[in-house]
Structure 1
Amino acid sequence: MLTLDGRTGEGGGQLVRIAVALAALTGQPLRVNNVRGNRRFGGGLKPQHVAAVDWLAAATHAAVDGVRPGSTTFTFKPKHVLLPHDTSPGNPIILRAATPAASTSLILQAVLPYLLFARPGLTKAGVPATPPAPVSIDLYGGTHVSFAPTFDYLDQVLFPTLEAWFGIRIERELVQAGWSTGPKHAETGVVRLVVHPLASAVENAVERTLIPKMPCLLPKDASDNKSVPSITLIEATVMAPADLLDPLAGSLAREVAQNTVLTPNPMTLTVDLQFRRIEESGHDSRVYVLLVARTDTIDGKEAGVRRWGRDYLGTETIKRGNKGGGIPKGLKVKGGKKGSKSRQAEVSAASEPTGGGFDMLCDRIARRVVLDLAAEISQGGCGDSYLQDQLVVFQALAAGQTSYWRGIGAAEKTEGEEKDTPGEEGTVPVDELQEAVEQLSLQDEKNGAKEEPQDGTGGDDKRDESIPDNMAAPFGQGSMHAATARWVTAQVLPAVRWSANGTVCEGVAWAGKK
């Protein structure tokens, strides 16, 4: 039985999710001790972990022990039975955690690899359907939960990247938003997904393999890693109380226009910022902003697009009183109503906020998101730090070599969904972040440029793919989440091979039965 210490690396829930996902696929008996042992407010399984492990156990006929909220040790012994799933939009797999604030995206992280390779439904004659049918799944829980990817991040960053780079197609719908803040008896969030089967490497073959469509975005000249990508489109999502929607849109447009990374030529005075969705959140404690930047296609191919996303999820209740004058001077919103799918905002780069409490709050939120996004893009690479660690498991399972690098020598924060505060699934006070955010650029300049890569190359990424990385402990460039994810894949999949400081992966070409 493979035994993992849950305190290894980032020591949180990601280790559990990846380990169980791969164990379910491979039939590897697994034991995890000290579950989430690095968490300040106590470790142990959370409701979203239990929901995912329980479902995978049922799907693989696994014997389990210790799978309950708060448990610090559990075992998972699958019989490696890929059950046929006779699902449809009217008969989906249902995954529901014990608490409404448990993150649906974190549940999905644990079950998605299995769903990609699970056998399709059977025909009335009892034989596998041909072609294999998609798998429908409804997830119940939190869709906008602190320290976890939101539905909007999955929808706009992760899922498009999985489709472009790996050919993984996932239809998705946010049926009902579910928040970790607001009324205690608010409606549970619902996410509806349709996971399409992987294409076979050979037509009508029994085995189904994950074949990357864009296996490598690594430039031949490693020095190009340090260049700042040219952004061709920025999209924004805003969910907030009704009277904050327009002020937030104005602050975002102004901050984007004045940021030289996002708008290389701010002297043009205007920025065309696409608002993907603007809608009321339903409560004064619910403020969510997501900015997604992307590059252009490569040789006209969508697969070459790179995406960076950073967001803000507030947990404080807005204090009304000294409210500003509404839409900031210079902001012109056109096209669509609140809640529409597409909206544009044009703002003069020289315009100033009108003052007042709302304007100060909106400016602070916008400044944080814009600075975070600009810092991610300035590091170069193929996407943001959160995207990188979520791609690791798919790289390990894929056929052939993949390389999705982060900016070399860039400073990374070890952030994740499990920096808990007592009594909640994961929240963070907003007012404590302003000064740190405003100093972000200075900190990156001071610390990031001098950080040594973990492979001991002294800052020069030689990318020698002939020498494998030392996989005995978390390794490679990027965040500690990414380093830990690579380590877990190496433990459960001994054939996986990482090299060049974690930037190159030779996957195991895992195949699932039709």
Structure 2
Amino acid sequence: MADPTKDSRPDPQPRQHPRPIELDGCTLQGGGQLVRIAMALAALTGRPITIKNIRAGRPRGGGIKPALAAGIDLLASISGSTVVSGHVGATNMTFQPPPPPASISPTEGSLEIVSLSNLQVDPEYHVCLSTPGSTLLVFQILYPYLMHVATQSPTGYVNLRVTGSTNAVAAPSYDYAAQVMVPNFARLGLPKLSITLHKRGWASPPIEMGEMGFSIHPVSSLGRGNQTSSKTNPFPSIHIMDHERGKVTQIDITVLAPDVILPGLRMTVRKYIEDDMKRACQVLETENPSLFEPAADPDNPASPRRESVQIHTSETTQNNRIYLLLVAHTSTGFRLGFDAQLERRQIDKGKIIDIMASCVEGFLHEISDDPKLEDQLDADLGPVRRSCLDSYMRDQIVIFEALGKIGQAGPPDSRKREDTRYLSSHTKTAQWVCKEILGTSET
């Protein structure tokens, strides 16, 4: 006979994880960016992710690097997730967030951003890398999730400090982040983000550890006045092709170089680069007037001429280090940038000339359309144009485009289409990862 004091109702079914999504880490660009985006999306949506062949095609060896491992560890700690094989050198790993309150269907449009209930968030986190990994790459894996959960912090925002390199080859620099990334994030409707350089750090010998600080405000702080995707999705709807590039109104030049005089120079390396880069940018404006706003008001010849090229930052470095950044301000409020870095045991005039030429050439490519591509435009592509962002910034915004589409039916058919021939392998990889996990269309 059943005990009447006991509840005869069946026990509720335990919460279960949805089936993990499996990704091949060798796909397309196949670098750490693939993992960073996947981990951020897993934490935000509650979907377990398994990645194999992590960075397997890299010439210097595959597997998880220390900076990536550190970012994964902190992301898992804040979100309460479990990581299997997320250690340095691992080529296969699984990131398993806490089980959601309801099962998540893999059908497109059925995903939701995870709830913030019962989540504990500290006002400050500090990641201290043991090797000079990029501080910005650590930031990238944490930023989308911290932007969502920052409202749970006692202060209403989260401070993140990362010790590592601030200027490293093949990684974003502090200077690019401050002058290009942060203004563009704000222009596209993301919440307030402040970054601080506490100390410069360099990844090449002689190694110097630096530190950057990030003050991350919650996406919910945008308020209902901003266009969001749905009541359950606080991320703003971002449609890149709604924005025009505009004309270049100003060029900022950043020079980090030594104050030494080399054979063949009559001034310090830093002064030589400043003068030459300024002349080169003035020539760009003269030779490509269609890219620039007029320096003077054509309707008022007596009006003062706009100073369109200026030195933004100039700092002294050690004798073997040179860093250059060119940033174009546009009439539509965006920033387009291109940088170059040289770290050699010995530098000479020839190497200096080469890095300046490389920087100017890359910058011109970012602010102008490629005439070869324009000549080869296939009629089948229809009306397409380049986006309002430079090549590197374009891949940084992909995850936020995808997050804004959760709970959204999709952009109107009348939207202008992007010329995908300008997309980098990093951007295509980011779009692929977002589509595999979220089921969202690429653009």
User: Are 2:325 and 1:290 equivalent residues in the alignment?
Assistant: yes
Q: Secondary structure at the match of 1:369?
A: helix
Q: Structure 1 residues 54, 406: closer, same or farther in 2, change over 3 A?
A: farther
User: Are 2:136 and 1:105 equivalent residues in the alignment?
Assistant: yes
Q: Which residue of 1 aligns with 2:84?
A: 65
What do you get for the CA RMSD once the two structures are aligned? Answer: 3.0
The Cα offsets for residues 89-132 of structure 1, whole Å up to 9 and x where unpaired, read as: xxx21112231x1011111111100001115346xxxxxx6xx7
Q: Which residue of 2 aligns with 1:230?
A: 247
Shift of 1:207: 5.2
1:154 to 164, 169, 177: 177
1:114 to 111, 126, 145: 145
Q: Which residue of 2 aligns with 1:96?
A: 128
CA distance in 1: counterparts of 2:416 and 2:165, whole angstroms: 31
Q: Which residue of 1 aligns with 2:60?
A: 41
Q: Which residue of 2 aligns with 1:171?
A: 194
CA distance in 2: counterparts of 1:43 and 1:405, whole angstroms: 39
Shift of 1:262: 7.4
Paired residues for 1:322-361 under 5 Å = 358=349, 360-361=350-351
CA distance in 1: counterparts of 2:279 and 2:193, whole angstroms: 34
Amino acid in the other structure paired with 1:157: V
Contact 1:257 1:271 in 2 (8 A): no
CA distance in 1: counterparts of 2:121 and 2:141, whole angstroms: 17
Q: Which residue of 2 aligns with 1:27?
A: 46
User: Are 2:170 and 1:139 equivalent residues in the alignment?
Assistant: no
In structure 1, list runs of 5 or more residues that go unmatched: 123-128, 220-224, 298-304, 320-356, 413-477, 499-503, 505-514
Amino acid in the other structure paired with 2:191: I
Greater Rg, structure 1 or structure 2?
2
Contact 2:78 2:121 in 1 (8 A): no
CA distance in 1: counterparts of 2:143 and 2:286, whole angstroms: 34
CA distance in 1: counterparts of 2:353 and 2:246, whole angstroms: 26
Contact 2:341 2:355 in 1 (8 A): no
Bigger helix fraction: 2
Q: Secondary structure at the match of 2:55?
A: coil
User: Are 2:329 and 1:306 equivalent residues in the alignment?
Assistant: no
Q: Secondary structure at the match of 1:232?
A: strand
Quote the sequence identity (%).
31
User: Are 2:215 and 1:194 equivalent residues in the alignment?
Assistant: yes
Shift of 1:167: 3.0
User: Are 2:432 and 1:408 equivalent residues in the alignment?
Assistant: no
CA distance in 2: counterparts of 1:229 and 1:172, whole angstroms: 27
Contact 1:25 1:114 in 2 (8 A): yes
Q: Structure 1 residues 18, 77: closer, same or farther in 2, change over 3 A?
A: same
Q: Structure 1 residues 200, 306: closer, same or farther in 2, change over 3 A?
A: closer
Amino acid in the other structure paired with 1:44: G
Q: Structure 1 residues 217, 294: closer, same or farther in 2, change over 3 A?
A: farther
Contact 1:84 1:120 in 2 (8 A): no
Contact 1:256 1:263 in 2 (8 A): no
CA distance in 2: counterparts of 1:486 and 1:216, whole angstroms: 13
Amino acid in the other structure paired with 1:287: I
Shift of 1:364: 2.5
CA distance in 2: counterparts of 1:107 and 1:2, whole angstroms: 23
Contact 1:2 1:28 in 2 (8 A): yes
Q: Structure 1 residues 253, 136: closer, same or farther in 2, change over 3 A?
A: same
User: Are 2:364 and 1:374 equivalent residues in the alignment?
Assistant: yes
Contact 1:251 1:363 in 2 (8 A): no
Shift of 1:361: 3.9
Q: Structure 1 residues 29, 264: closer, same or farther in 2, change over 3 A?
A: same
CA distance in 1: counterparts of 2:441 and 2:86, whole angstroms: 31
Q: Which residue of 2 aligns with 1:17?
A: 36
User: Are 2:83 and 1:51 equivalent residues in the alignment?
Assistant: no
Question: Number of aligned pairs?
Answer: 362
The Cα offsets for residues 462-488 of structure 1, whole Å up to 9 and x where unpaired, read as: xxxxxxxxxxxxxxxx11211111110
CA distance in 1: counterparts of 2:136 and 2:202, whole angstroms: 13
Q: Structure 1 residues 192, 36: closer, same or farther in 2, change over 3 A?
A: same
Shift of 1:71: 1.0
Q: Structure 1 residues 287, 489: closer, same or farther in 2, change over 3 A?
A: same
The Cα offsets for residues 364-410 of structure 1, whole Å up to 9 and x where unpaired, read as: 22221111010122225312111111100011111556799897364
Q: Secondary structure at the match of 1:259?
A: helix
Contact 1:286 1:314 in 2 (8 A): yes
Paired residues for 1:222-301 under 5 Å = 230-242=247-259, 243-259=268-284, 264=289, 272-281=308-317, 283-297=318-332
User: Are 2:346 and 1:318 equivalent residues in the alignment?
Assistant: yes
- The two structures have a TM-score, normalised by structure 2, of 0.74
Contact 1:135 1:196 in 2 (8 A): yes
Contact 1:6 1:32 in 2 (8 A): yes
Q: Which residue of 1 aligns with 2:205?
A: 182
Amino acid in the other structure paired with 1:110: I
Q: Secondary structure at the match of 1:278?
A: strand
Amino acid in the other structure paired with 1:231: V
In structure 2, list runs of 5 or more residues that go unmatched: 1-19, 100-114, 260-267, 296-305, 370-385
1:76 to 66, 77, 95: 95
Shift of 1:216: 4.5
CA distance in 2: counterparts of 1:405 and 1:392, whole angstroms: 17
Q: Structure 1 residues 306, 71: closer, same or farther in 2, change over 3 A?
A: same
User: Are 2:432 and 1:487 equivalent residues in the alignment?
Assistant: yes
Q: Structure 1 residues 169, 262: closer, same or farther in 2, change over 3 A?
A: farther
Shift of 1:189: 1.0
User: Are 2:372 and 1:396 equivalent residues in the alignment?
Assistant: no
CA distance in 1: counterparts of 2:233 and 2:25, whole angstroms: 32
Amino acid in the other structure paired with 1:20: M
The Cα offsets for residues 38-93 of structure 1, whole Å up to 9 and x where unpaired, read as: 21222100011100111111112222121111111111111168533231xxxx21
Amino acid in the other structure paired with 1:408: D
Q: Which residue of 1 aligns with 2:235?
A: 210
